Amino acid sequence: MTAAATGERRPVVGIAARTAPVTLQGSALTVSLALQSHVDFLAAAGCLPVVLPLGHGAQELAGTLDGLLVPGGPDVDPALYGQPPHPSTRAVRPDLDRAELALIGAALAADLPLLAVCRGMQLLNVQRGGTLHQHLPETTGDDSHRPATAGFTFGRHALELRPGSRVAGILGDGGAESFCHHHQAVDTVGTGLTATAWAPDGTVEAVEADGRPFAVGVQWEAGQTADDRFHRALAGAAAARAGRRHPQPAGSTRP
């Protein structure tokens, strides 16, 4: 039975929205949106997903949520980590970067379970004072993390996992692999973060916030494949938080 069927409160997980131009019935519009698979994976794991438009005080909601997912998106403004822009750094939105950094900061301050995906992991690292490689091929010597093909193609890398890390616990022992599409990556790891997964070329593929119940960043495109393990892990951490914040009345039982 689901939480909704039993009247039990479902954990509420915010998904930071992306803005994008669309054409609807011939009109050009800008919309706030979320990847449907993020919504579906979290809902299937027992959560109530809520899309959070960035700015307008979205960080004020952190204390009311049980979890937060920060998804992929455009390049991060390099001014936020003290660098001039590389020619390949494009489509930056400093206003949205700062709004999302404020949301991540509020989530960390509230010990909110956090899953940061691709750009989200990069923002988490910058929020903690870290820096980024602005154009990864200049570091690795190839485009294997964002293959230069006519269509959208994943780069695939076997992962080296830090033993005992939360990421290793989620992925298990069965030959973990990343499916990625990015040209930027963590350079200097931020304060209070630990790298817990690497590609064979040394690129940091996951970070975790030290001493927190659940604050994980993954560089690959979690949510764009059928693998929902990190969404289920976030849902589990959110459910535990919800249970602490909203204990069931005496005598009630969980399904």
- The pLDDT value recorded for residue 145 is 87
Kindly state whether residue 68 falls inside one of the protein's structural domains: yes
Mean pLDDT rounded to a whole number for the chain: 91
Under 8 Å between Cβ of 11 and 29: no
Beta bridge partners of 50: 14
Give every CB contact of residue 75 below 8 A, 6+ residues apart in sequence: 89, 90, 91, 92, 119, 134, 184
- Using CA atoms, how far apart are residues 50 and 17, in angstroms rounded to an integer? 9
Residue 2 located in a structural domain: no
Does some domain include residue 254? no
Q: What digits encode the pLDDT tens for the residues 12-33?
A: 999 999 988 899 889 999 999 9
Has residue 69 got a pLDDT over 90?
Answer: yes
Residue 208 lies in a domain: yes
3 in any annotated domain: no
Query: What is the reported pTM?
Result: 0.91
CATH number assigned to the domain comprising residue 54 = 3.40.50.880
Residue 179's domain comprises 8-20+29-245
Q: What is the pLDDT of residues 120-146, one digit of tens each?
A: 999 999 999 999 999 998 988 888 888
Count of domains observed in the chain? 1
253 part of a folded domain: no
Q: What mean pLDDT comes out for the span 139-160?
A: 86
In a domain, 1, yes or no: no
Range with the lowest mean pLDDT among 17-31, 111-125, 217-231? 17-31
| Residue 179, in any domain of the structure | yes
